[in-house]
Every structure is written in C-alpha cells, then in structure tokens.
C-alpha cells in the first residue's frame, strides 16, 4: 500500500520505517526540512509540500497524520478536506482529544472523505517495531487499511473500536491509567530509597520484573534508567503532563465516574513543578524511556 505520512517527528519517522520494513511505500512530508532530509537519508521518499504529497499518492489516497494535537492537526485536516478527493482516507494517529476527532470526522464526511482516529501506543520503540493501535471511524476505510495497520502493530495489538472518536477515547483512558501506574511505581521506589534499609534499587526493579504481579515494561524502563544513574542525581524531578490525563478526568467528571488515582497522579505532576521528589524523578525517566520525552537535568537536557 502507498501511504502519505504527514509529521516526521520521533513517532512519525519511526512509523514510516516500520511501514517500509513491511514493503509499504511511504511518502513523507513535514514542515521541517531537517526532518524531511533525515528520513530521506533512510530511503523514504519525501514530498515538497502538501499538494506534491497528494499528487504522488494513488486514489483512494491514504494519508496518515502524526502531528501534535490541537492546532497543527486541526489545520492539516482542514487543508486535506479541501485538497483530497471523495473516498480518500485520512488517519489521525496522534493524541487528539476524542471530541476533536468526532468533529474532524464530520469535516471529512462533508467532503465524502473517510476518517479514522487511531490511538497509537507503545512509544517510539512501538512505532518502530510494533505499536498498539486503537482505531475508530469509518468502517469501510478501516477495511481498506487494516492489513497495513496489522503489519505495523505488535501481534494482536490492533483493533477496530467503532464510530469516530472511539479510538482516541480508548487511547485517552489508556493514558490516564498510565499516569496512575507510573505515579505508584515512582512513589514505591521513593519509599524503598528512604526506608532505612540498604536496598540496591536496580536489583529491586530487576526482581520485581521477574515473576512479580507488578512486572512489565514500565518496570523494565525503571531498571534500565536506574542502571544508568542509581540515585537519579542529575535528573530534575519535573514530569510534564501531555493533556490526556486531564481529558480523562474531565470526561470522568462529566459522566459522574470516580477516578481518584488518575486525578491525583495528574495533580502530582503539576506539583512536581514546585518541588523535587525522587518519585517525580522516576516518573520523568519512565516517560523518557517509552516516549523519548525530554528529561531535565541540572546542567542540561538529554533525550
């Protein structure tokens, strides 16, 4: 399948290479010339602008967006609604709010363009080697692209979730759960560190990741990061919030559903701007481990 991929940042570039590995032809586009040059060096064809991208694709065109939510995604979908043709497929693989995706689907439908909202999890390594994909929107569009999506997803890691907005709703709740899990792990390691016992936190993470109830990828990241810096001495204990946990809590309030763990984990991230705790350092390095998010250091910043 020939796919136009708009947005060649960390996630988009790795997804492009994943598609390429599975024999799909990718044509990339990004406002950043450096991003275009970088992916071109890896064998991905690039377009000079949006019109050029659309001209290079076969009908019905498949256009995958991997852009920041809000303005960049909104403006790109508006532009595609004017430039694309009936039956073309627009896939938003970013972290858009589900209500925005419902509106994007309406904008596309008005021009007979088919829209899919694809919640994408697994971080940078998932985009490159096998993502978890939660896909809502036009079922006929899903049927066209499902084999290609299955190619870039981890085994059993792709599902059709239903009407427009449902894919990003599922990803939103996923990220809310993620916040709570990361906060609990961070707090647990802070208590271990300050227990008065002489624990080797690398060994703690290693043992908890072998057979324990709380084993998993986040614990693997914890072990890896602690092996680099057992005390996280150079890490500033600030953890940014991407917005999806806030949307999760807001939606829970609208539906009168109690989500105290997610809500409190969101508040703690805000508090991390004002005070430094080992638990916040742990959350920061976990975010770096799966998503490549910047970690602030006392002297500089590393990715």
Task: Given the residues 178, 187, 244, 281, select the one marked as catalytic.
Answer: 178
Provide the phi-psi class of 64: left if phi over 0, else alpha when psi is between -120 and 50, else beta.
Answer: beta
With a CB cutoff of 8 Å and minimum separation 6, the contacts of 256 are none
Contacts of 198 (CB under 8 A, 6+ apart): none
DSSP tag of 61: P
How big is the chain by its Cα radius of gyration, in Å?
20
| Whether residue 10 lies in the annotated active site | no
Distance CA 78, CA 8 (A): 19
296 is catalytic: no
Residues whose CB falls within 8 Å of the CB of residue 272, separated by 6 or more in sequence, listed in order: 237, 238, 239, 280, 283, 284
Q: Which of 41, 82, 171, 277 is catalytic?
A: 171
Structure tokens at 73: 């995604």
Sheet holding 25-29, edge to edge: 45-46, 25-29, 2-6, 62-65, 89-92, 114-121, 131-137, 153-162
Active site residues: 171, 178
């Amino acid at each position: 399948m020939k796919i136009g991929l708009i947005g060649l940042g960390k996630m988009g570039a790795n997804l492009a290479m994943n598609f390429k590995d599975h024999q799909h032809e990718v044509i990339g586009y990004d406002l950043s010339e450096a991003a275009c040059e970088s992916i071109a060096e890896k064998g991905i064809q690039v377009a000079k602008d949006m019109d050029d991208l659309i001209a290079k694709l076969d009908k019905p065109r498949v256009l995958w967006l991997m852009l920041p939510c809000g303005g960049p995604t909104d403006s790109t979908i508006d532009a595609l609604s004017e430039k694309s043709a009936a039956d073309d497929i627009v896939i938003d693989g970013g972290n858009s709010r589900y209500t925005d995706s419902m509106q994007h689907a309406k904008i596309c439908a008005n021009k007979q363009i088919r829209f899919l909202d694809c919640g994408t999890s697994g971080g940078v390594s998932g985009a490159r080697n096998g993502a978890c994909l939660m896909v809502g929107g036009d079922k006929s569009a899903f049927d066209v692209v499902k084999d290609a999506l299955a190619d870039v997803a981890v085994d059993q890691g792709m599902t059709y979730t239903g009407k427009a907005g449902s894919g990003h709703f599922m990803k939103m709740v996923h990220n809310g759960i993620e916040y709570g899990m990361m906060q609990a792990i961070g707090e647990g390691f802070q208590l271990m560190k300050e227990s008065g016992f002489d624990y080797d936190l690398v060994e703690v993470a290693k043992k908890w990741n072998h057979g324990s109830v709380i084993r998993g990828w986040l614990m693997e990241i914890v072990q890896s990061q602690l092996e680099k810096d057992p005390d996280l001495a150079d890490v500033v204990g600030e953890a940014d919030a991407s917005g999806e946990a806030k949307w999760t809590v807001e939606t829970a309030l609208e539906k009168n559903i109690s989500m105290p763990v997610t809500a409190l984990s969101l508040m703690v991230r805000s508090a991390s701007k004002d005070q430094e705790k080992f638990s916040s350092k742990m959350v920061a390095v976990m975010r770096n481990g799966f998503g490549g998010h910047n970690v602030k250091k006392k002297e500089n910043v590393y990715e």
